Amino acid sequence: MSVASRAALLLLEDGRAFPGFSAAAEGTAFGEVVFNTAMAGYQETLTDPSYRGQIVAMTASHIGNYGVNGEDAESDRIQVSAFCARHFPKSFSNFRGKRTVGEALRSAKIPAIDQIDTRALVRHLRSLGAMRGAVSTEAIDGRDRENLLQQILRQPQMAGAALALEVGTRTSYAFAPERPRAPRVAAVDYGIKRSILRKLTASGLDVTVFPATATADELLSPPRPFDGFFLSNGPGDPAALPEAARTIARLVDSGRPLFGICLGHQLLGLALGASTFKLKFGHRGVNHPVKDVRSGHVSITSQNHGFAVDSDSLPAILELTHRNLNDGTCEGFRLKGRPVFAVQYHPESAPGPHDSDVLFEEFATTLKR
């Protein structure tokens, strides 16, 4: 049974429709329709700023079995435009759970749809690629559906979207109380997840978070200098952020250690002369195999991205360090001879496996030398 009986519709820009039932707020929401293959971690997905501007469909059959709690949020709000699943349970079973997924979405005024054919949806997106769409309880049939399709076609494409400028902090702040003698890191917030900040501080680092619009002068010349820099994850097209790439190039020139994740990986690549491109349907889930090309070690990784660095565009100063074993795309690189490196996947593992914790330890070690 759906948590609500009102009819709802997921409509794609090519006219393909997936009928279902409303599972949260009523109304219409637009976004790029993507899918996530994780079986758990839906609260982290809902609140991950990297999902801004997207309608997320979960491939697992039941989403919401353990409810929503007060600890697992990755930001201060639900970030997805709308949420889709085969089934959102009306109840949950977990001692940490406080409310259902439907209740959380309804409170945030976010539409959701269940009882749709998620298998058909994913096969469609894998064949034709991620595309614009809408979830609606208002435009179900006839002329209303045709009007909705025209509205979808007027929505901006994800390519060229500078969404990272919308999701992060507006002012700088210290993530945790300062610890004497701990290395100091400036983290640039393009849509940073709380679990990344927790991983950095757990590695013995003091972290100050800066807006995505922070200038190189702000980051390089504070009252007390930083020992290194971190570039966060975030939504949208990295190529739409040329000023951020120019700022990062100056951070690299400072000679201090630097670590980037996801969008930070893409922006560092642009700053150092590589190019990026949009993936057909992206990588979103917690079971993506990534190979360390230096050691041959394979990690199972958590991922959430729709763009990637073109490995063929890496300049000679960069060394490819990690490759995706599903499609061969670049999953990591480093600046030769320097403590500057980045990965495309999410080593903070929230949600996901903890195979890549060592990357935070590696970054901390470079700062403590």
C-alpha to C-alpha distance for 269 and 260, rounded to whole angstroms:
10
* Catalytic choice (288, 305, 322, 346): 346
Torsion of CA 63, 66, 67, 72, to 10 degrees: -100
C-alpha to C-alpha distance for 350 and 73, rounded to whole angstroms:
10
What burial letters (b/e) apply to 221-252, b meaning 16+ CB within 10 Å?
A: eeeeebbbbbbbbbbbbbbebeebbebbbebb
C-alpha to C-alpha distance for 307 and 331, rounded to whole angstroms:
11
C-alpha to C-alpha distance for 180 and 271, rounded to whole angstroms:
33
C-alpha to C-alpha distance for 111 and 22, rounded to whole angstroms:
7
* Catalytic choice (44, 87, 124, 262): 262
Is 262 catalytic? The answer is yes
Closest CA to 116 of 21, 247, 235: 21
3-state secondary structure at position 287 = strand
Take residue 217 and report the two structure tokens written for it.
């002068």
DSSP 8-state code for residue 311: G
Whether 173 and 209 have beta carbons less than 8 Å apart is answered as yes
Q: How is the beta sheet containing 318-324 ordered, strand by strand?
A: 173-174, 206-211, 184-189, 228-231, 258-261, 340-343, 330-335, 318-324, 276-292, 298-309
DSSP 8-state code for residue 159: T
Is 348 catalytic? The answer is yes
* Catalytic choice (32, 44, 331, 348): 348
Residues facing residue 362 across a β-bridge: none
Active site residues: 262, 346, 348
